[in-house]
Structure 1
Amino acid sequence: MAILEKCTECGSEDLHIPEEGEKDQSIYCNACNAVLGNREKLIKKEKEDEGEGDHQVEKLLRGLSGKE
């Protein structure tokens, strides 16, 4: 999970992002203890971003082939 890279409160890159377990586990900053969201929302955001990335690649390929 690479979407959340820095704490929105202090800018630290030392984040606690649970890899397994309940989907509603909190993601927090190890430096300032700010709660930055939960695992379920991060997973949902990653899936949305992956789909958007796939769409952009398809659009680029169509443009290169002249089939836009």
Structure 2
Amino acid sequence: MERLDHKLDCKDCGTIYLKIPKDVQSDTPIYCSTCGVLLGRWEELERDFNRQGGQDGVFKMNDGQIERLD
């Protein structure tokens, strides 16, 4: 898998760059950092990230930007 998809991929601009507030809660709305479109609630986006290998060392999230680890 080269990049994450599904809920984390902005349907408007195609990037995977989330605007995550410091005080994020499970019901916090998360927006695309590139174009500002609502991507979903943190709980569902975090679940999707984990399901795609985010917690297994395959990807890392840094300031809302998700990158594949080499």
TM range (shorter): 0.3 to 0.5
TM-score by length of 1: 0.46
Higher relative contact order (CA 8 A, sep 6+): 2
Larger Rg over CA atoms: 1
Indicate the structure with greater helix content: 1
With normalisation by structure 2, the TM-score equals 0.45
